Copies of this chain bind each other. A is one copy, B any other.
Amino acid sequence: MKSNRSRYAILGVLSEGPASGYDIRKTIEQELSHFWNESYGQIYPILRALAEERLATRRRKKQRGKPDRQVYSITAKGRRALREWLSEPPSLQTERNETLLKLFFSGNLDTTERRELIEAYREKQRERLVEYEGIERSLEESSPEHPDLKFWLLTVSHGRAEARARIRWSDQVLREIEAREVAKGRSRRRA
């Protein structure tokens, strides 16, 4: 079994119920966007492949006034494949952090630009905290009785913990480079 993570993200959404490519995109956007994303360019070809491999079935639903929907449903084989993947240890790959890359080489920047880099990072994490409110609410409202709701909310709590840690780190960095600035100012005056 190939280990394409997008396949399993899509199978995962299908495990909650039948859906079209469009639905899947929307679900991922609304409920998983804090740690996952998929574009149509991935979704549609993968759905076709899932159907060919009998991990999902497809049927066309006619609609009036709207384009036809291709609705996919997970099969028993699909559920088995999903469960198998879920129980494998996650593949480890370095997560890249562009802000850290820029900070690492920020000797090539002036102090203002470096401060702005960190301030922007901090601000982005603050925005994420706000987004989590919305995601949490939308998860709770969409299916308040769903037995898996608790797991969904735990992913939000992960995002919050991470964002808060990054904000604290940013504050620490800003204090440090601030202190350095002041020290430099003093030594310039003394010189």
Contacts and interface: CB of A to CB of B under 8 A. Distances in A.
Interface of A: 5, 8-9, 12, 15, 31-37, 79, 82-83, 86-87, 89-109, 113-114, 117, 120-121, 124, 147-148, 150-152, 154-155, 157-158, 161-162, 164-166, 168-169, 172-173, 176, 180
Q: State the copy count for this chain.
A: 2
A101 B164 contact: no
A23 to B, nearest CB: 16
Contact of A173 (B90, B99, B103, B154): B154
B155 A35 contact: no
A94 B162 contact: no
A122 to B, nearest CB: 12
Contacts of A151: 103-104, 106-107, 114
Contact of A15 (B31, B105, B148): B105
Contacts of A97: 35-36, 95, 158
A97 to B, nearest CB: 4
A113 B101 contact: no
Given A86-B105, A94-B36, A161 B169 contact: yes
Nearest to A168: B161
A166 B161 contact: yes
Contacts of A168: 161
A107 to B, nearest CB: 4
A79 to B, nearest CB: 7
